[in-house]
Chain A
Amino acid sequence: MGSGLDWNSYPVEAGSAAKFAPHPRAIVRAGTAHPMIMRILVLLLALLAASLSPASQALTPESLKPFAGDEASEKLTAIDALIAAPDARVAAVLAAIRDDRLAYTDDTHFYVGETGAYVDAVSGAAATPKADDLKPVEINNRIRAKLNAALAAMDLLSPDRAVRAKAVADLEKASDPALVALVDSALATEQDPALKATLQVVRAAFALKTSDREQKLAALVALGASESPQTRQLLLPFVEKTKEGGFVEADAELRGAAEASLKSIDQRQQKGELLGSLFTGISLGSILLLVALGLAITYGLMGVINMAHGEFLMIGAYATYVVQGWFRAHWPGAESWYLAAAIPVAFLVTAAVGAVLERTVIRFLYGRPLETLLATFGISLLLIQLTRTIFGAQNVEVANPAWMSGGIQILPNLILPWNRLYIIAFSAIVVAGVWAILNLTRLGLYVRAVTQNRAMAGCVGVKTPRVDMLAFALGAGIAGLGGVALSQIGNVGPDLGQSYIIDSFMVVVLGGVGQLAGTIVGSLSLGIVSKFLEPYAGAVLAKIMVLVFIILFIQRRPQGMFALKGRSADA
């Protein structure tokens, strides 16, 4: 209580209205912090003294008198008077008015209805008015809005941070100069930096409504530091132009302050957008990476482009769907962890499909890359139609587990969704795993050897067909993992693979084959460049520009950014 005005800790005693006078120290504090406010308060109090009861007794039968009348404007004034001296009783009465629970018998006897019983509005003591004489206090929407704002402002002093946060959010929408005193006292005690910053915006917004020039100027400058998205709307009227070309706001100093504040807001906004583009770019890049890794491995190894690679994604996503269904049916308690089980399942299923595909089709087409391309396209048609036959042509529903929804707020206009963050982390882990397989295992050694020189690797005893099959299965399995990731951010349907496959081909063209670094740099740069172009050019033009860029890029580096060095003329 010592730190300032805290009405929740006031002792609520029946019949002692005098104890609910505004805490003298609160007024002093407000006064020392904001001399201007002090002056206004004094003015307000003087007004109150003239029109109503003495200010030291905010809640008196007298102060409620206007509510028995019909005059809405008088009721508004009365509310202002009540706000000026807030305490628990005032809050209860205001809430009662708002909720249509305040009734009166005559203009000095007011009662608050509380679930079947009545209490005296002023004292809070139990009362038993005659039910026949009771008339409800009537209010209109304007009064109701004002009450809402006033009650919110009172909540600003609550010790509960959540209540305060809600109050601040409510106040951002309303701007009632009468609440200034409350906001100021809240500002003086508020310790939470985020709430305090928002409160300052609210305070400035209130100040802009006043006619005092000094206050306005201070508010305009203060708003420049605001992070709230609504600030712009407050500032814009000050720099608006009339039809004749002049400014609506005649005062150049005010206008200048508003312009400067707008500029600094725009700069921060831009920073947020820039970071946002970067993030979505990395997010897209990490998905492309999951798709393109397998393509790049198999293309580097066997020189074939697998047109059915997109369908491996689709199989991975459907595997996730099936695992989810299994968990729902058999193990509902652990449903939010189905994703963890889906990862190995999707990998194994797609790897198996890939191995079968390699054994039954691609094997027979070695040395004929163009034919392989056509055959795998046929496979992709077969897989799509097969999926339609089994699961139907409609998209299936794959739910985000609870721990993946939501996001973290970095800037006011930048929220990083958890599912995208997880996917970025996931693809980083997958890349690390692939790197480990390629560089630390015997299979990886063989894969690299066959990629460099198939004939020579065969001569020294590497079983190249076996390496081909395993590498192909690995590539397919990675795509399956990509499918798990995609199921968390997009629709899962038979055509899922089609939308990513062309972009991932472009990654392979851009990054070159046979080296992990090429695929990583290729996919991330493709993702980031597309997302940076999109706000300016639109998604379609961005795609076209990226394609043109790639065609021009391979003029200089036909083998991609990270080509394997070799001396073959046909490389």
Chain B
Amino acid sequence: MNATALPLEVAATSIAHEPRARLFSPAGWAAIGVALLVFGVVVPLLALAVPEGNALHLTSYALTLSGKILCYALCAVALDLVWGYCGILSLGHGLFFALGGYAMGMYLMRSIGLDGVYHMDLPDFMVFLDWKTLPWYWKGTHSFAYSALLVVLVPGLLAFVFGYFAFRSRIKGVYLSIITQALTYAAMLLFFRNDTGFGGNNGFTDFKRILGFSIHAPGTRVVLFALSGFALVGALVLCRFIVTSRLGRVVTAIRDAESRVMFCGYDPKAYKLFVWTLSAVLCGIAGALYVPQVGIINPSEMAPTNSIEMVVWVATGGRGTLFGPIVGAGVVNLAKSYFTVAAPEYWLFFLGLIFVLVTIFLPQGIVGLLRRRKQG
């Protein structure tokens, strides 16, 4: 199917017997080390130790923006795992991202405590709606550990159930794409409702503290930023580990010729379900890290457009490379920040053009372009 885009790697009988590819090249490991150093030491120093006004000082705006982009990049890596390696183009990953965000958001709402506008134990929006008790599905969210569990479980479970039914009936290609889009669209409508207990239009916002630390304190922000960076590196290593494993080779084979893989005796369903669910969980984690940094989560995160934007990060960076999507997320989002300030009316033109030009002229994305240059 993707003959023009990617070499057909299937020699199905020998899928499992190929020698294992190395995880990263030495240069790759070095880059990861540098990245960890930047996220864990350099940025915190620049933000906290370097005095304000100094050219090297990292402003809170820059810190938030780059933290946000790290979360987006984590999504892009997760999406690349299913699209680039398994051929499943999800147009609904924004849903998993938002679900993780909502789980974390509710914890943050609960830890506002009595400091809300109404000085009540319940989150403000529930007081406003004249609710007396928490709905059952938000029970226990005052505990950070339980909320963190929800961050992983809710997107994971939803992805598992949806994926089970979708892959069982062998829905694939554009069919699957538009159904995932409908899924996130339906969820968005549900979350927009006031009476569903998700805060309606405004979602969750006005957070005060996380684990007892003020959410606006520079120290907290730096920690959140560093955590996002570590999560991104962790996800990258994990995904790379998966795609270089035997399982990963079967997954790649499914992407290139699902029927042949089936005829060789593999059951594609389980493989697809695994990478699909894992990808959703990673997206959920990204959402959970995103919310405390940005300070708001609302249903517009589930808008179909947001999910497709994630896809364009992957496409721009280069799908099937894991590293490319990180680049893509960075480039596109920096462009977005630039446009929304400098020329908001041109942003959609720019984004639309990226979609068209990248798919026609850069099927392998930026990373693919660089690789081609390197090979001569």
A and B interact physically: yes
Chain A interface (Cβ < 8 Å from any Cβ of B)? 299, 303-305, 361, 364-365, 367-375, 377-382, 384-386, 388-389, 502, 505-506, 508-509, 540-541, 543-544, 547, 550-552, 554-556, 558, 569-570
Given contacts A381-B348, A509-B179, whether A569 and B2 have CB atoms under 8 Å apart is no
A558 vs B193: C-alpha distance when bound (angstroms): 32
A481 vs B270: C-alpha distance when bound (angstroms): 44
A378 vs B347: C-alpha distance when bound (angstroms): 12
A509 and B186: CB pair below 8 A? no
Partner of A509, one of B170, B175, B311: B175
CB-defined contacts of B162 to chain A, threshold 8 Å: 551
A305 vs B172: C-alpha distance when bound (angstroms): 13
B359 and A365: CB pair below 8 A? yes
CB-defined contacts of B3 to chain A, threshold 8 Å: 367
CB-defined contacts of A374 to chain B, threshold 8 Å: 308, 311-312, 315, 355, 358-359
A382 vs B193: C-alpha distance when bound (angstroms): 30
Most buried by A among B1, B173, B174, B179: B174
B352 and A558: CB pair below 8 A? no
CB-defined contacts of B189 to chain A, threshold 8 Å: 540, 543-544
Q: Chain A's nearest CB lies how many Å from the CB of B252?
A: 16
Q: Chain B's nearest CB lies how many Å from the CB of A468?
A: 16
CB-defined contacts of B349 to chain A, threshold 8 Å: 381-382, 385-386
CB-defined contacts of A368 to chain B, threshold 8 Å: 2, 4-5, 359, 363
Given contacts A375-B359, A509-B178, whether A555 and B352 have CB atoms under 8 Å apart is no
Given contacts A544-B189, A558-B171, whether A361 and B1 have CB atoms under 8 Å apart is no
Name the prevailing secondary structure of the A interface residues: helix
List B340-360 residues whose CB lies under 8 Å from chain A: 345, 348-349, 351-356, 358-360
Q: Which residue of A lies closest to B3 (CB)?
A: A367
Q: Which residue of A lies closest to B360 (CB)?
A: A364
Q: Chain B's nearest CB lies how many Å from the CB of A506?
A: 6
A377 and B182: CB pair below 8 A? no
Q: What are 7 inter-chain pairs, A to B, with CB distance below 8 A?
A: A361-B360, A374-B315, A502-B185, A502-B304, A508-B178, A543-B189, A555-B168
Q: Chain A's nearest CB lies how many Å from the CB of B325?
A: 14
Most buried by A among B183, B348, B358: B348
CB-defined contacts of A372 to chain B, threshold 8 Å: 359
A555 vs B171: C-alpha distance when bound (angstroms): 9
Q: Which residue of B lies closest to A371 (CB)?
A: B359
Q: Does B127 contact A (CB under 8 A)?
A: no
CB-defined contacts of B166 to chain A, threshold 8 Å: 551
Partner of B259, one of A370, A385, A544, A569: A569
Partner of B348, one of A370, A384, A555: A384
Chain B interface (Cβ < 8 Å from any Cβ of A)? 1-5, 83, 87, 89, 162, 165-166, 168-171, 173-175, 177-179, 181-183, 185-187, 189-190, 192-193, 258-259, 304, 308, 311-312, 315, 345, 348-349, 351-356, 358-360, 363
Most buried by A among B175, B189, B351, B353: B175
B170 and A558: CB pair below 8 A? yes
CB-defined contacts of A379 to chain B, threshold 8 Å: 352, 355-356
Q: Chain B's nearest CB lies how many Å from the CB of A287?
A: 18
Q: Chain B's nearest CB lies how many Å from the CB of A426?
A: 26
Q: Chain A's nearest CB lies how many Å from the CB of B29?
A: 32
Q: Which residue of B lies closest to A569 (CB)?
A: B259
Q: Chain B's nearest CB lies how many Å from the CB of A534?
A: 13
CB-defined contacts of B173 to chain A, threshold 8 Å: 303, 369-370
A377 vs B178: C-alpha distance when bound (angstroms): 12
CB-defined contacts of A386 to chain B, threshold 8 Å: 349
A506 and B182: CB pair below 8 A? yes
A375 vs B315: C-alpha distance when bound (angstroms): 11
Q: Chain B's nearest CB lies how many Å from the CB of A271?
A: 31
A375 vs B89: C-alpha distance when bound (angstroms): 13
CB-defined contacts of A508 to chain B, threshold 8 Å: 178
A382 and B353: CB pair below 8 A? yes
A382 vs B349: C-alpha distance when bound (angstroms): 5
